[in-house]
């Protein structure tokens, strides 16, 4: 039986703030060096800080909770592919928004999710550049805390229902997969979200506008906070969304392609890359995180 989620949250928040200090130091340093590596292509970036933050987090978790399993973006990239089990498992993106981190655009964060019995149950997302801390525990609500010494802690609750996509401020991401197979249908979806049907854009929904914060976890947090109505992305990884799923759901948001898809994708015999999200309803693999279900989706 999983013990005390509240004490795990206290530990995780402290860890996120420690990691945040390292992320800030790294951001200063990276502006003066060109120490940026590429993963699958020239826009899929990783730095020594992604690796260092993950190492720090992994070792602190192992000290505090030796029986917990660990899934991390950089461990996965370097070949450690732990199967998701029913055991408590931290699912970690050490720096979500690495491109922002490299460019000095202050929307990057650490995302620490805890999965138990294949369900995300706890999430901590910390943007050290803005000192925004998002936390959530399944069944216990989610919060945004600003400031450390005299923190202002706001509950993230009661989202306004969204009457239609037409009235929505929504987020999408370009992602790092820039091949034709992904980018053409993706940008067609962007066109339909933004376009004016009266001017011949078939299926155009003419949403209020579209944003890209450059971090899946921060897009999701912004939905939870109410600044965005919807976040849609094809091809997120579990560590991008695990913590955010708890935070958004606890704030009254709806998640499509959530832990059920995560569990299915990681079950034995799945022909899908086990750490990718399963294909979902509209246009291929995606996570769709919304504040309230619009009637015209």
Least distance in angstroms from the C-beta of 97 to ligand IPD: 5
Determine, following the binding rule CB under 6 A, whether residue 175 of this chain makes contact with ligand IPD.
yes
**CA of residue 166 relative to chain centroid, distance:** 25
The active-site residue, picked from 74, 96, 229, 250, is 96
Residues of span 114-173 touching ligand IPD by CB under 6 A: 173
**What are the strands, taking DSSP E only, across the chain?**
36-38, 45-47, 69-72, 89-96, 109-116, 119-127, 132-137, 141-146, 152-155, 169-172, 209-211, 230-233, 254-256, 279-280, 284-285, 287-290
Least distance in angstroms from the C-beta of 114 to ligand IPD: 18
Least distance in angstroms from the C-beta of 65 to ligand IPD: 23
Contact 73, 239 (CB under 8 A): yes
Is 188 noted as a catalytic residue in this protein? no
Nearer Cβ to ligand IPD (96/138): 96
Is 44 noted as a catalytic residue in this protein? no
Residues of span 183-242 touching ligand IPD by CB under 6 A: 214-216, 233, 235-237, 240
Q: Candidates 95-103, 149-157, 188-196, 262-270 — which segment interacts with ligand IPD by CB under 6 A? A: 95-103
Q: Binding string, 17-56, against ligand IPD, x = CB under 6 A?
A: ----------------------------------------
Is 73 noted as a catalytic residue in this protein? yes
Nearest to 250 by CA among 142, 145, 160: 142
Contact 218, 127 (CB under 8 A): yes
Is 131 noted as a catalytic residue in this protein? no
> For the purposes of burial, counting CB atoms within 10 Å of the CB of 184, is it exposed (0-12), middle (13-18) or buried (19 or more)?
exposed
Among the listed residues 20, 26, 97, 244, the single contact to ligand IPD using CB under 6 A: 97
Place of tokens 């997969």: 177
SS3 state at 296? coil
- Binding-residue total with ligand IPD (CB under 6 A): 15
Determine, following the binding rule CB under 6 A, whether residue 284 of this chain makes contact with ligand IPD.
no
Gap between the Cα atoms of 109 and 100, Å rounded: 10
What does the binding site for ligand IPD look like in residue numbers (CB under 6 A)? 73, 93, 96-98, 173, 175, 214-216, 233, 235-237, 240
Please identify every residue annotated as catalytic. 73, 93, 95-96, 98, 240
């Amino acid at each position: 039986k999983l013990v005390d989620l509240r004490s795990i949250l206290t530990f995780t928040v402290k860890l996120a703030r420690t990691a945040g200090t390292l992320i800030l130091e790294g951001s200063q340093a990276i502006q003066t060096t060109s120490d940026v590596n590429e993963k699958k292509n020239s826009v899929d970036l990783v730095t020594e800080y992604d690796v260092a933050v993950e190492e720090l987090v992994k070792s602190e978790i192992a000290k505090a909770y030796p029986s917990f399993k660990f899934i991390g973006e950089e461990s996965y990239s370097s070949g450690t592919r732990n199967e998701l089990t029913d055991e408590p498992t931290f699912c970690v993106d050490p720096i979500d928004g690495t491109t922002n981190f490299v460019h000095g655009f202050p929307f990057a964060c650490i995302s620490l999710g805890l999965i138990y019995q294949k369900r995300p149950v706890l999430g901590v997302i910390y943007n050290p550049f803005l000192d925004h801390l998002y936390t959530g525990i399944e069944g216990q609500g989610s919060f945004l805390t600003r400031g450390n010494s005299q923190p202002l802690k706001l509950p993230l609750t009661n989202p306004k229902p969204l009457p239609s996509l037409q009235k929505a401020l929504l987020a999408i991401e370009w992602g790092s997969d820039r091949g034709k197979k992904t980018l053409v249908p993706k940008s067609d979806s962007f066109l339909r979200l933004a376009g004016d049907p009266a001017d011949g854009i078939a299926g155009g929904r003419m949403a209020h506008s579209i944003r890209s914060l450059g971090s899946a976890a921060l897009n999701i947090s912004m939905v939870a906070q109410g600044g965005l109505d919807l976040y849609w992305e094809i091809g997120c990884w579990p560590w991008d969304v695990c913590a955010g799923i708890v935070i958004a759901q606890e704030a009254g948001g709806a998640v499509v392609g959530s832990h059920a898809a995560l569990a299915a994708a990681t079950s034995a015999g799945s022909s899908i890359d086990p750490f990718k999200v399963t294909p979902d309803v509209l246009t291929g693999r995606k996570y769709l995180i919304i504040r309230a279900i619009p009637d015209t989706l």
